[in-house]
Structure 1
């Protein structure tokens, strides 16, 4: 982007002004036309001809793909374990609760993309900007702490989950080649490093607007591994019958399970389910990829409804069928619970889909972090040439600051993942921390402020009751997950994670 374009964009965002030249939206950015062209010039060093690929973007369908890519992630892998801790009735009820709340607050949040008017107001290109425009600077700072903390946590969780799935692929092939009694254990650390190297390359994609092809691929992968897990569950049930299940999950006394340990596990499971529905913290960023006609809030409401409905349907099938297949012995990652033997290729394929999906989901989660870091640096050192300078290599735009900053971030997150590779407790804690502030509190408070809901009115009281109830749910889930994480840390040796 040239300096002139950057200045125009900055003026448009801060003052709501733009040049009506037919090429730019009212925020100074190029119009979201709904078309994105990916091409390769004749200088591309490929043994085949890469033809021009035209992709329709900027529509609610692609926003749905972004949502599905973000929502159906590593959270789906732990749902059968959650059902085992909670049982049929609490498990199904909890999943439906988070589904309804996520849809309700997401619909409220879509109206905060423009302010003060949800259709004709000024664009807010990020979640944090929407909070600042509607609730003020103090709430903006709190939102920044919550959003950045959660996004950082999720990128760490994705690194751990990808290593587990990559290890599962290796073990499936190893057992097939060397027999069921072979020693096929593998260290997770080299796998995390491989994942980090790929993410460093992908992180050079400038922003959300360039991620649509990656998002579509990732969404397809999420469907594939979720469907594979469902098919394997059905096959296991057909072959071995329904596992030992109950209405309230693993009974107290089973394998020495105490009432206190049962409670901690249930609380951790609630956090896991909350994590499975986490995406509100990037909803505004996804909405910013939509073209302005029809109005973005109208398109985003449709995208959120479709995306959450599809995700909930898959979640319910994965949780119910996974619990039915494994019973109270359901593993933390239900794809690895099917063993690494026959059909080894199907288990390996499912885990490969997890890896590909998380490669894309990592970028969708990390983009707000990258954008925040780079915008802060531009404001802090406005004349610094390393920060401002962009280079062109053929059709690619290159930034030295982007390369250094984003590479450093990926490396640091990978090191932390090596130190704390605890899947269930970690995602539970992230989910608990994400759910209330970013998925409930800020969307509801922005809606109240934007539409001037009278204090102590019926609508105001109902919205505040939802806020309080969800806060209590998040608090107890966070306590349970923290306790499990502390327990795991006391028995784990850093950098020695093995699958």
Structure 2
């Protein structure tokens, strides 16, 4: 009887495939007891009871970074026309590629691609898929965590300096250590669902400091003698500034590096696949992202023109209490973002330790691995407190592929849409734009590093 029903299910699946319908996910669990125990211990696969709104605020926390405060500065290098076009285009393209990843999570009946590299392995093969995806994903996730260490420390330093004008200056390094101390505790939360509360707080904070930035700009009004010309004293400065700003806008979307891992926490069945609630959460998140990004970028630029500072809060200066509050909101937000980007890294390290090197899944292993990771990111952040400037260069090789065009290449490799069909054209447009971005943004970032190198100091 069981065999007959299995055969009937297979026939239904094949018929649906032939007709181009979506194939239901009849999951047959072939794992051993040991594999099940390991999957129940690993951070990504241990909990699958997330709700759709978990996806919404996880995605807001992942996408909206403190970099939103530098968008008015990016606009000053791009100008009104190109700036608005690039802002909108980035939002549309990244939403499209995010939709592709959500759709591909369960495209094989009975299987879920819980991790970005698993999707890459399905498209490009076991070894090649790992080599294509893992290095880029790690550059993004570890790089963002180091940058958030620096951001968190510097935001705490700003709060201290604003509230205590006459106090003795304290090194940035000490504030980075204070920020890192929180993560030596939070890093031991086992999985994505356990950091839901932190992620929600971070999402609320990102919306709050973005609102403060644009609302305070509106209150301040357009500044006297404001100019909207390109912010560059020479044509070379203008061109390279444009390239660098292109990278600033493009890298404001980093959520793709954790989207499959977030979707893995949502329950799924043939009747209710995970892509439904996940996509609803992503759409809500992207609407919130638009409410954060567009007003800050456009109103900040409208208020200060090409004299706007790299961080709009610096241009605003007063009232002091409001700027202090905004910086504290940034600290809370990057605490949540750090944990969100660290979780897939923890999963990768713990998977290798347990599956490849045959370590026993235990609290001691988890305690050691995660403390070492936090210590490593803290050490790099203290050594290079200008890491945010370097991230534009290193991230150029990884952010653009994982966000803008790798999902499109995987989609073309697996679904093979007809040449010159709408799907084929859209994906190729995204690929070409993504590759251009990958080439020009590191050039702009590298020149920026060379120009500012004399101001960089180790262990500041």
- TM-score, normalization: structure 1? 0.79
1:273 to 2:249 alignment = yes
1:219 to 2:203 alignment = yes
Structure 2 counterpart of 1:394: none
Structure 2 counterpart of 1:244: 226
Q: State how far apart, in whole Å, the 2-side matches of 1:108 and 1:333 are.
A: 33
Deviation at 1:64, TM superposition (A): 0.9
SS at match of 1:480: helix
Does the CA contact (< 8 Å) of 2:63 and 2:255 recur in 1? yes
Give CA deviations for 1:76-123 in whole Å, capped at 9, x if unaligned: 01111111111211211111111011011111111121242xxx4401
Q: For 1:10-49, list aligned pairs within 5 A.
A: 31-32=48-49
1:170 to 2:163 alignment = no
Structure 2 counterpart of 1:87: 79
SS at match of 2:312: coil
Structure 1 counterpart of 2:427: 463
Q: State how far apart, in whole Å, the 2-side matches of 1:236 and 1:72 are.
A: 24
Q: For 1:311-330, list aligned pairs within 5 A.
A: 311-330=289-308
Relative distance call for 1:90 and 1:425 in structure 2 (3 A) is farther
Does the CA contact (< 8 Å) of 2:143 and 2:395 recur in 1? no
Does the CA contact (< 8 Å) of 1:162 and 1:358 recur in 2? yes
Structure 2 counterpart of 1:179: none
Q: State how far apart, in whole Å, the 1-side matches of 2:34 and 2:452 are.
A: 47
Q: State how far apart, in whole Å, the 2-side matches of 1:331 and 1:375 are.
A: 43
Structure 2 counterpart of 1:41: none
Relative distance call for 1:249 and 1:140 in structure 2 (3 A) is same
Does the CA contact (< 8 Å) of 1:274 and 1:428 recur in 2? no
Q: State how far apart, in whole Å, the 1-side matches of 2:191 and 2:82 are.
A: 40
Structure 2 counterpart of 1:231: 215
Q: State how far apart, in whole Å, the 1-side matches of 2:245 and 2:39 are.
A: 46
User: In structure 1, which of residues 136, 141, 147 is the aligned counterpart of residue 131 of structure 2?
Assistant: 141
Does the CA contact (< 8 Å) of 2:230 and 2:238 recur in 1? no
Deviation at 1:5, TM superposition (A): 6.5
Structure 2 counterpart of 1:408: 372
SS at match of 1:122: coil
Deviation at 1:337, TM superposition (A): 2.6
Relative distance call for 1:414 and 1:10 in structure 2 (3 A) is closer
Q: State how far apart, in whole Å, the 2-side matches of 1:90 and 1:184 are.
A: 44
Deviation at 1:134, TM superposition (A): 3.1
Structure 1 counterpart of 2:333: 357
Relative distance call for 1:233 and 1:6 in structure 2 (3 A) is farther
Structure 2 counterpart of 1:447: 411
Does the CA contact (< 8 Å) of 2:65 and 2:252 recur in 1? yes
Structure 1 counterpart of 2:314: 336
1:204 to 2:188 alignment = yes
Does the CA contact (< 8 Å) of 1:287 and 1:300 recur in 2? yes
Does the CA contact (< 8 Å) of 2:40 and 2:47 recur in 1? no
Structure 2 counterpart of 1:151: 141
Structure 2: stretches of 5+ with no match in the other structure:
1-31
Give CA deviations for 1:376-424 in whole Å, capped at 9, x if unaligned: 1112321x3xx42x3xxxxxxxx11222221111222222222322366
Q: For 1:394-433, list aligned pairs within 5 A.
A: 399-422=363-386, 425-429=389-393, 431-433=395-397
Q: State how far apart, in whole Å, the 2-side matches of 1:243 and 1:304 are.
A: 41
Q: For 1:35-114, list aligned pairs within 5 A.
A: 58-114=50-106
Give the helix-richer structure, 1 or 2. Answer: 2
Deviation at 1:459, TM superposition (A): 3.5
Relative distance call for 1:11 and 1:356 in structure 2 (3 A) is closer
1:124 to 2:113 alignment = yes
- TM-score, normalization: structure 2? 0.86
Relative distance call for 1:362 and 1:465 in structure 2 (3 A) is same
Q: How many residues align?
A: 425
Does the CA contact (< 8 Å) of 1:73 and 1:222 recur in 2? yes
